Copies of this chain bind each other. A is one copy, B any other.
């Protein structure tokens, strides 16, 4: 196959899958501003303001709060490679795809992952976690996913962290799909290390991973016996670049334009306010729920454990999963998500994230689904 030599002009999709979500046009405009140097004093100021806005979004005073220059999976890896040393025991709660990825990370750091398993679509059982904590008093950390993108389940981050702390463990939280969409309070909940993504409820383009580390986590990093196995993600080095003051040590070239976009996304969240953003996600979820149920579609996750921003419904018997998604994409320019892992072919995942959590998207999705389901 030969090279296509024409520019790529994408269609205007409505993105209601598990992410990326619809990007606010303001953010695309910010993204396309002229590139400046990554050591330009104006860029250094922008980095500082981005850090402050991330502290606001995470609800933390952690000094070590910044975007990793790579997607959420690299943010996850940044947390694990800095905190886990060979031989460390980490309790990982899994009830979907991303808990499994945490296990991979622990093991690739030479650590031992003690798994707390719950069914996909159910919340992590806090009693199981407590039993595991009792059995492994030498565990260094407890890790779990706040908003499981693969199932639409909300794990009770506040309660899980409180329990982990009671047993003297570090707390590691995946907030890729939760940040900006549901309540999250890093300092109040005693989260020691957290990572997120830009392409979910921040409605920014994909490619960066905001992270934050508590003072406790920093002390653990400082006392490491072994070097961090990743040079790119070594927080000691990264902080020389993202640290305080005007003197920055060159580490890598920051993705300048992506930072413009993240900054703009965080300004939008700041202007709306966290409470208002969380409420909007809850409200639009209610609207979508009514619409989906009117179409006869059933939610998989129990009501109290559902994420407003990721709605997982069972595919009705006799309906062709791939055909429906293909028709939505081709006839309506509408993307919804397929099932992942054990849920592939059994569910759809409908996202209501950030800018995309609005009445117009809800109505459009319900309308499109009603037409495609009748005819498919």
A binding-site residues for B, Cβ under 8 Å: 1-13, 15, 17, 19-20, 22-23, 26, 28-38, 40-43, 46, 48-49, 52-53, 56, 69-74, 76-77, 101, 104-105, 107-109, 197, 199, 205-207, 227-232, 250-258, 260, 263-264, 267, 270-271, 329, 335, 340
Contact = CB atoms under 8 A, between A and B. Distances in A.
A12 B34 contact: yes
Given A15-B37, A69-B71, A74-B232, A260 B10 contact: yes
Contacts of A48: 1
A149 B76 CA distance: 30
A206 B107 CA distance: 31
Given A71-B69, A73-B231, A108-B231, A7 B270 contact: no
A34 to B, nearest CB: 5
| Top 10 closest pairs, chain A to chain B, by CB | A207-B255, A32-B32, A70-B70, A73-B252, A205-B257, A206-B253, A28-B32, A23-B35, A37-B335, A74-B232
Given A23-B35, A28-B32, A108-B229, 8 more contacts: A3-B270, A7-B264, A12-B34, A69-B70, A69-B71, A199-B253, A207-B258, A230-B230
A268 to B, nearest CB: 10
A309 to B, nearest CB: 15
A18 to B, nearest CB: 9
Given A1-B48, A205-B255, A230-B230, A36 B53 contact: no
Task: Tell me what chain A mostly uses at the interface: helix, strand, loop, or mixed.
Answer: loop
Nearest to A150: B250
Contact of A13 (B3, B34, B107): B34
Given A253-B20, A255-B205, A260 B1 contact: no
A49 B4 contact: yes
Contact of A105 (B1, B49, B105, B231): B231
A253 B108 contact: no
Contacts of A197: 253
B30 A13 contact: no
26 contacts: A1-B48, A1-B52, A8-B263, A9-B33, A10-B43, A12-B34, A13-B34, A15-B37, A20-B38, A28-B35, A31-B32, A32-B32, A35-B206, A69-B70, A69-B71, A70-B70, A70-B71, A71-B232, A71-B254, A73-B232, A73-B252, A74-B232, A77-B232, A205-B258, A206-B253, A207-B257
Nearest to A254: B206
